[in-house]
Amino acid sequence: MPAKESSSPLARWTRDGGQMVLELSGDWRRGGGTADIQGEAPDEAPARYDTDELGDFDSTLPAFILSHLRSVAKPGDDAKPPLDGLPPDLRGLMELALAVPEEVEARQTPAEFSEIKKLGKTSINVWASVLSVAEFTGQSVLALGRFVTGRARFRARDFWVIVQECGAQALPIVSLISFLVGLILAFVGNVQLANFGASLYVADLVGIAMFREMGVMMTAIIMSGRTGAAFAAHLGSMKANQEIDALKTFGFDPFDFLVLPRLLALVLMLPLLTLYANAVGIFAGMLVGAAVGIPPVLYWNETVATIGLTMASLGVFKSVFFGAVIAMSGCLQGMHAGNSSASVGEATTRAVVASITAIIILDSGFAAIFTVLDI
Amino acid sequence: MNNSPENPQAKITVRDLTMAYDSFVVMRDLNFEVAEKDIFIIMGGSGCGKSTLLRHLIGLLEPAQGNVFYGNENFTAAGPLERVKFIRRFGVMYQSGALWSSMTLAENIAMPLEENTELAPKAIRDLVSYKLSLVGLSGYEDYYPAQISGGMNKRAGIARAMALDPDILFLDEPGAGLDPLSSRRLDDLILRLRDSLGSTVVIVTHELSSIFAIANNSIFLDTATRTQGAVGNPTELRDHSENPAVRLFLRRGEKSEPPSIPMS
Ligand SMILES: Nc1ncnc2c1ncn2[C@@H]1O[C@H](COP(=O)(O)OP(=O)(O)OP(=O)(O)O)[C@@H](O)[C@H]1O
Ligand SMILES: [Mg+2]
């Protein structure tokens, strides 16, 4: 094709014996600069087009014409505006663009809210989410009931896969974190206790801290970031893909099928992980002890003497609740996610934030109760 | 190693292409050319590798063997940076629509325009509503993909593929899920785009009526032999192809007379 010199796009409105004529000339190309519009745009569709001087064009030209035609179209008037004088290609494109009338009903006016309305909306949303948490908890209890009576339906295979994911596969990270926590506790404790020549009490300190709080806390927080988030993302994308609807239409209760195995798996595995974390923490303390001259046997005896069965079971007891909280907030947020990929991300964030907050609040509650009960 | 197409005039040249997922060979030894301004159909039974071929053409998958050329440049051998300059000229509609679900339809179409052109916001808005009008969706600018129907999603995907007036338009089953009228309008649209913008169009489809109405060239992927069954104009293939599988496919499984296709 010979390289033509491109001229800038120009549109001119003229009146020819009472009829509006739109003269189009130049090259209407995306890179060719903004169109120069001469004459005043009328509030009617042009009766005719004059395109003798028109050069090349891409979509910018039909877009320009269409935008004028749409802006002057009368609502409810289905008559097609005349397209005389347009070159055949352009005319064909315009006919296609006008073939389906604009769906005026569909247009959404962006909602404008005053501050008061926003406040109201926020309060309603907060209340709604409280309700949805309550409803979800209720449903979980019912589902547990169905499970206990053997009427809940889910695939055992799914359950074991989830058990593996939130159990065995979490071991490395749980080991690392609880080892380091045990190490830190022992080091910090030893610096102070050594002042009194009471280094041996490092064993008590590490044992009590791990068994009562740190073991279960760290494990729960790791699991909500790891597994709670995974639950929310998994169920959220199932929701977005209508996979949950597909379950429903096959007669599966999504609650039994998706939430129950996750809930059971985590309630089962979190206590075990907690026990394991406690053991690793104690082991780390023992290593530090050995480094500062406490023989492991002595360390062990001291630990066993301080920590009775009651104290050893406190953390594990709490972990049952924490496991339920993590699984439920992950599943709740996933099941209530919106339909877009972004909403899956939001659901995941909310699940983690909600479960960590709930864990900390629950833990303070437990601390208060245990103090009152003097255990 | 042959590093140039035999016919540099052709828009797309595929030479000895073998497509595989790891060790699973989907199709082998594909050889065909798509000429400038062709409306080229990729057809074949479900699961035979049509979408896979499309993904090879646009560089989402790497050939196990063979080359894809655009003009006389080797696309397969090009590095990631060189490929960008090819890919800029493509418009692609995916089989599942693949609209960005967190953006409205208008934003879906505007994003390529905003990122790749210097257009003013008003011009972009006009272009967006023009593209949506072309697929019969004007008025749905502010809807999210989840709020419109399956067929509408498909059409919005086509509008997005056309956003940049691409030189080559790739459409994966654009007609599936559309009513006969929309599907007919889509055929018109494809012809118009080819005529007005000079685009080349590569379409995966099984809709026989639209194949005969718009295509001037096609490739048939044969599941039985795992290679191309025939290349050529679909009407001629239906009447004169030597490959019985091709004739059967193009006659909807009827062995003898070709179905009467109403002339448009
Ligand atoms: N990501 C993948 N990994 C492995 N195999 C795949 C993958 N995607 C597709 N396949 C296989 O490649 C073959 C061709 O798939 P492809 O999606 O190209 O089919 P198609 O011709 O587009 O079918 P349809 O008309 O149903 O869309 C199928 O056998 C499929 O199982
Ligand atoms: Mg496909």
Mutate to test the pocket of ligand 1, among B19, B28, B52 (most ligand atoms within 8 A of CB): B52
Q: Which of A90, A97, A341 sits opposite B101 (nearest CB)?
A: A341
- Give the tokens for residue A93: 């494109």
Where among A64, A86, A106 does a domain terminate? A106
CA distance B264 to B245: 27
Domain closes at, from A106, A131, A149: A106
Structure tokens that stand for A325 in this block: 């909280």
Contacts of residue B257, Cβ cutoff 8 Å, sequence gap at least 6 = B251
Q: Is residue A82 located within the same domain as residue A225?
A: no
Q: Chains A, B: CB contacts under 8 A, how many?
A: 104
Q: Do residues A322 and A350 both lie within one domain?
A: yes
Residue A296 counted as domain residue = yes
Say how many C-beta atoms besides its own lie within 10 A of residue A107's C-beta: 13
Distance CA B44, CA A1 (A): 37
Nearest alpha-carbon partner for A143 in A322, A264, A320, A239: A264
The helix/strand/coil state of B194 is: helix
Q: Which two tokens stand for residue A295?
A: 């023989």
Smallest CA–CA distance, residue A187 to chain B, in Å, is 49
Do the beta carbons of residue B131 and residue B163 sit within 8 Å?
A: yes
- B172-196: b (≥16 Cβ within 10 Å) or e: bbbbebbeeebbbbbbbbbbbbbeb
Q: Is residue A113 part of a domain?
A: no
| Residues A293, A163 within the same domain | yes
Task: Return d(Cα A172, Cα A30) in angstroms, integer.
Answer: 56
- Concatenating the DSSP letter of every residue in B80-94 gives HHHHHHHHTTEEEEB
User: What is the identity of the amino acid at A296?
Assistant: P
Q: Are A206 and A308 spatial neighbours (Cβ–Cβ below 8 Å)?
A: no
Distance, CA of A48 to CA of B134 (rounded, Å): 22
CA distance A51 to A23: 6
Are A228 and A338 members of one domain?
A: yes
Instruction: Tell which residue, B61, B55, B60, B25, has the closest CA to residue B42.
Output: B55
Residue A347 has a pLDDT of: 94
Residue A79: what are its φ and ψ, rounded to 5°?
-60, 135
B-chain residue closest to A60, CA distance: B127
Ligand 1 binding pocket mutation candidate from B50, B58, B61, B226 (most atoms within 8 A of CB): B50
Tokens of A329: 């907030």
The pTM score is 0.77
pLDDT in tens, B31-85: 999 999 999 999 998 889 999 999 999 988 999 999 999 988 899 998 888 888 8
**Is A1 among the domain residues?**
no
For residue A1, the model assigns a pLDDT of: 40
* Same domain for A127 and A101: no
pLDDT band at B195 (very low <50, low <70, confident <90, very high): confident
Contact assignment for A97 to B192 by CB distance below 8 Å: no
Please say whether the beta carbons of A34 and A2 come within 8 A. Answer: no
Reference B124, options B169, B170, B167, B164; nearest CA is: B164
Q: What are the residues whose beta carbons fall under 8 Å from the beta carbon of A190, sequence distance 6 or more?
A: A199, A202, A288, A292
pLDDT band at B196 (very low <50, low <70, confident <90, very high): confident
Whether residue A263 sits in one domain with residue A179 = yes
Cα(B158) to ligand 2 centroid in Å equals: 16
Rounded-to-integer distance, Cα A346 and Cα A359, Å: 20
For the CA of B172, the nearest ligand: 2
Q: How far is it, in rounded angstroms, from Cα B187 to Cα B182?
A: 9
Low-confidence residues in chain A, pLDDT < 50? 1-3
User: Which residue among A52, A82, A106 closes a domain?
Assistant: A106
A216 CA to middle of ligand 1, Å? 47
ipTM of the complex as predicted: 0.76
The residue with tokens 């004028």 is A68
State the distance from the centre of ligand 2 to the C-alpha of B49, rounded, in angstroms.
7
Q: What is residue B39's three-state secondary structure?
A: strand
Same domain for A213 and A65 = no
Mutate to test the interface with A, among B101, B196, B197, B214 (most CBs of A within 10 A): B196
Asked whether residue A111 is assigned to any structural domain, the reply reads no
- Are A71 and A125 part of one and the same domain? no
- The string of pLDDT tens digits covering residues A179-206 is 999 999 999 999 999 898 888 999 999 9
The pLDDT of residue A2 is 45
Which H helix or E strand runs over B230? strand B227-231
What is the model's pLDDT at position A96? 86
- pLDDT of B264 higher than 50: no
Cα B56 to averaged position of ligand 2 atoms, centre (Å)? 13
| B83-140 tens-digit pLDDT | 888 888 899 998 888 888 888 999 999 988 888 888 888 889 999 999 999 998 988 9
Domain that holds residue A45: 10-106
Over residues B18-39, the pLDDT tens digits come to 999 988 999 999 999 999 999 9
Residue B89 one-letter amino acid: R
Residues A310 and A203 occupy one common structural domain: yes
Residue A228 lies in a domain: yes
Amino acid residing at A42: P
Q: Is B208 on the interface with A (CB under 8 A)?
A: no
Neighbours of A125 (CB within 10 A): 10
Alpha-carbon span B115 to B23, nearest angstrom = 38
Based on the domain organization, do A88 and A176 belong to the same domain?
no
Tokens of A152: 């809940």
User: What pLDDT shows up at residue A106?
Assistant: 67
Q: Which tokens in the block code for residue A284? A: 């780390």
In a domain, A2, yes or no: no
Contact B159, B109 (CB under 8 A): yes
Residues B252 and B75 sit within 8 Å (Cβ to Cβ): no
* H/E element, B31: strand B24-34
Determine the residue of B21, B27, B30, B60 to mutate for testing ligand 1's pocket, defined as the one with the most ligand atoms within 8 A of the Cβ atom.
B21
Chain B residue closest in CA terms to A98: B133
Distance, in Å, from the CA atom of A36 to the CA atom of A110, rounded to the nearest integer, reads 31
Give the minimum alpha-carbon distance from A96 to chain B in angstroms, rounded to a whole number: 6
Q: How many domains does chain A have?
A: 2
Q: Is B247 helix (H, G, I), strand (E, B) or coil?
A: helix
Choose the mutation target among A36, A51, A67, A98 for the interface with B, i.e. most B CBs under 10 Å: A67
As a whole number of angstroms, the distance between CA A268 and CA A320 comes to 8
Average pLDDT of chain B, as a whole number: 87
Whether A83 and A209 share a structural domain: no
CB contact under 8 A, A59 and B118: no
In a domain, A3, yes or no: no
Report the run of H or E that residue B73 belongs to, with start and end: strand B73-74
* Contact state of B196 with A67 under an 8 Å Cβ cutoff: no
Q: Coil, helix or strand for B98?
A: coil
Q: Is residue A147 part of a domain?
A: yes
Residues of A in contact with B118 (CB under 8 A): 31
The atom number, within ligand 1, closest to the CA of B44 reads 21
**Residues lining ligand 1, Cβ inside 6 A:** B 21, 24, 26, 44, 46-52, 95
CA distance A279 to A281: 5
Do A244 and A275 lie in a common domain? yes
**Spatial distance between the Cα atoms of A23 and A11, rounded to a whole number of angstroms:** 6
Chain B partners of A337 at a C-beta cutoff of 8 Å?
none
